[in-house]
Every structure is written in structure tokens, then in C-alpha cells.
């Protein structure tokens, strides 16, 4: 993998596969698992990042994929490098719990548990209803995020 000699990676798909566009992180993670096999650690997180923040500091690079609520058009992709890019207050990472993605990152930072590099891909969703299907826009953006991650990691 491009520039990956001796580095360990973690890809985390965040979301709920039963809430329409909230499934984007899980779907991307599942696809990447087929691409990378055992070369890259890939997990899906449906409900809580609590356990994850205890271990992701052991990785050189963590890539998180999650759905975003925003006034932007459905399907818009955000790629943010934590500590470099400003995470806009306009972005609301979708969460069915009181503590969301950004709060978990801040907790990990306070605990000194952040990975060396953290990249977040956010896909603007349209439908987050229970039992809802993924929108056409979000599905197309999943494919684009997969391409970007494969290119980034040289897969």
C-alpha cells in the first residue's frame, strides 16, 4: 500500500444499517473489508465509540466514515483531517445517542488516546428514518468515498 510500509491502519464505519442514510459508514467499511482483507483492520460501529477510543491510539492512521446532517445537498462528501481542518459547526454527525462522533474524538484527545493521524469522511444524508432505504445520493457518495480511500491507502 502506498506509503504504508510499517504503518498500521484502522478503518471505522460508523452508523446504523437500519436507518437509511445512516448506514453509509457501515456499507463503506463492509466493502473495504472485501478489498483489503486482513491487510487493514476494518470494523463497523453501530452504537458507541466508547471502547474504540481506548484502542485507536495504537494506530498510525484511523479513517472514520459516518453520515452527516447538513444544509448542504444530500451526497456531499466532506474529508476532514483532525487537527488540520476545521470541523464546521454546520456539520452534525448523525448519532442516535447523546454523545456523537465529535464528542468521542474530543474525549479521546483529552485522554491522550488519539491516533497519530485521524481522517473523517462525512457523507451528507437525506433519510435517517428507521427502516428507511439509503438514498440514491448517499449510495453514489459511498462509491466515491471508497475510491478515495482505496487511492489514499494504495489498495
pLDDT digits (tens, 9 = 90+) for 90-99: 455 655 445 5
CB 15, CB 22: distance < 8 Å:
yes
Extents of the domains making up the chain: 9-153
Q: How many CA atoms lie within 13 A of 73 on its CB side?
A: 6
Superfamily of domain 9-153: HybD-like (3.40.50.1450)
pLDDT at 32 over 60: yes
CB 94, CB 22: distance < 8 Å:
yes
What is the C-alpha to C-alpha distance for residues 82 and 116, in angstroms, rounded to an integer?
A: 10
pLDDT at 124 over 60: yes
More reliable by pLDDT, 153 or 4: 153
* Average pLDDT, integer, range 23-35: 94
On whether the pTM is more than 0.75, the answer is yes
- At residue 4 the predicted structure's pLDDT band, cuts being 50, 70 and 90, is low
Amino acid at each position: 500500500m502506498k506509503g504504508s510500509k510499517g504503518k498500521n491502519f484502522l478503518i471505522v464505519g460508523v452508523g446504523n444499517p437500519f436507518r437509511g442514510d445512516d448506514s453509509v459508514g457501515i456499507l463503506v467499511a463492509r466493502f473495504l473489508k472485501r478489498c483489503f482483507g486482513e491487510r487493514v483492520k476494518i470494523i463497523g460501529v453501530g452504537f458507541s465509540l466508547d471502547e474504540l477510543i481506548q484502542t485507536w491510539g495504537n494506530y498510525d492512521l484511523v479513517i472514520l466514515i459516518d453520515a452527516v446532517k447538513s444544509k448542504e445537498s444530500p451526497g456531499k462528501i466532506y474529508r476532514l483531517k483532525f487537527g488540520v481542518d476545521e470541523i464546521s459547526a454546520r456539520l452534525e454527525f448523525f448519532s442516535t445517542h447523546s454523545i456523537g462522533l465529535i464528542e468521542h474524538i474530543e474525549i479521546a484527545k483529552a485522554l491522550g488516546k488519539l491516533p497519530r493521524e485521524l481522517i473523517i469522511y462525512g457523507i451528507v444524508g437525506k433519510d435517517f428514518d428507521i427502516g428507511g432505504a439509503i438514498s440514491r445520493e448517499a449510495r453514489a457518495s459511498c462509491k466515491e468515498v471508497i475510491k478515495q480511500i482505496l487511492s489514499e491507502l494504495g489498495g
